[in-house]
Amino acid sequence: MSKVLPIGLPSFVENNKIMEQQKQQPSAAFVAASWAALFIGMTAFLIGLYNAGMELNEKGYYFTVLMFGLFAAISVQKAVRDQLEGIPVTNIYYGLSWFCTLLAIVLLTVGLWNAKLAKSEKGFYAMSFVLSLFSAIAVQKNTRDGKKGKEQSNV
């Protein structure tokens, strides 16, 4: 038994689909701002490391924490987004993504807490780290949204 739809409903459904496609496409300004923030955050952190009067093993520690944090943050964004879109995500991957993100933040915090640096330097590293993590998530989201938007427009 089929239902008879009101006359205006199909156009409403089509308009809703068009709006959903438009929601998936990030604006060029947001994409540019996200990439700029990622570049600025990472560059500032790395220039700070380069100019720091630390030993090479300390610099390596902070560099590794930055890379680990970026990867972990992107993994969290992917796991959360996959779940929202109904793509299966194992609980272990979801939990590890969050654990690694928090671990990277804790490792940076402990490292800076114990470092013999000025408070302004510690704040500089913390802020550039947070900027890098946030912008990495935004870049990943924009990349995924842009790809999904292109796939939907090709259908």
49-93 pLDDT, tens per residue? Answer: 999 989 999 999 999 999 999 999 999 999 999 998 899 999 999
**Is 73 in contact with 98 (CB distance < 8 Å)?**
no
- Domain annotation covers residue 125: yes
**Is 142 in contact with 37 (CB distance < 8 Å)?**
no
Tokens of 126: 């913390």
Tokens of 26: 């990030």
- The pLDDT, as a whole number, for residue 10 is 52
Number of domains observed in the structure of the chain: 1
- Domain annotation covers residue 1: no
The parent domain of residue 117 ranges over 27-148
pTM of the model: 0.78
- The pLDDT, as a whole number, for residue 92 is 96
- Domain annotation covers residue 110: yes
First to last CA, the chain: 29
- Domain annotation covers residue 12: no
In this prediction, residues 129-149 reach a mean pLDDT of 89
- Domain annotation covers residue 80: yes
- Domain annotation covers residue 8: no
- Domain annotation covers residue 21: no
Distance CA 49, CA 141 (A): 28
Which one has a higher pLDDT value, 4 or 45?
Answer: 45
